Amino acid sequence: MGGSARVPAAEITGLFGALVKRMSRKMLGEVPDGAGVLWNQPAVFKDMMSFGHKSEKWKHLDPNLATFAHMAAVGTIGCEACLDLGYFMAHNRGLDEVKAREVPRWRESAVFTPLERKVMAYAEAMCRTPLAVTDEMSAELLAELGAPALVELTARISAANMAARNNIALGITSQEFSTACGLPPLATRSTTVASQA
């Protein structure tokens, strides 16, 4: 966990605010600190959450692949809050939490399939500056996933990129949701692999 946010949290108020607090407690057990930070501009909060909610209805991409891509993307950017939340949500949704735990060190880990590795490599490549996506990466994923799932994968990674950069810039840090529900700590990359990535 890091320090406090760079923007002070606002009180979450009103009818929509009450709904936000109720849904946060239902999903996470508490209201995330980041919700109060974003509540300084409720329209931004609402629109970001609305997009996230709508993206949950996309069904062309396997949910485990979506989670691994999200976690690889936010890990590349360095958003510990997003990485922790992704791990926690994988647990809550009954996804493969053993693999989700290994995402930070996916290049070293033996638990992932070749397709899962391609998805995480694509996620990392999309989050580099400049972008490092290649024609070969896209062609392989297109052949294995199909066009609808590849478009969905790309959109999910783009959204994760936005959320992660937003959180880091605002100083929103992890609340250790995964620890609170008893998950083992996320795996970490070795120093050698991290420096080569």
Nearest to 39 by CA among 27, 49, 52, 30: 49
Q: Domains of the chain: which residue ranges?
A: 59-196
Q: What is the mean pLDDT of residues 26-33?
A: 90
Which listed CATH number (1.20.1290.10, 3.40.50.720, 2.60.120.620, 1.20.58.2240) goes with 59-196?
Answer: 1.20.1290.10
**What are the pLDDT digits (tens) for 145-154?**
999 999 999 9
Q: What is the pTM of this model?
A: 0.89
Q: What is the mean pLDDT of residues 12-35?
A: 93
Q: What is the mean pLDDT of residues 176-190?
A: 84
Q: Is the pLDDT of residue 1 over 50?
A: no
Measured at the CA of 154, the angle between CA 151 and CA 159, to 5 degrees, comes to 125
Q: What is the mean pLDDT of residues 60-87?
A: 95
Question: Please, where are the H alpha helices in the chain?
Answer: 14-28, 33-38, 42-55, 63-77, 80-92, 97-102, 114-126, 135-145, 147-170, 177-180, 191-196
Q: Is the pLDDT of residue 95 over 70?
A: yes
Q: What is the mean pLDDT of residues 116-134?
A: 97
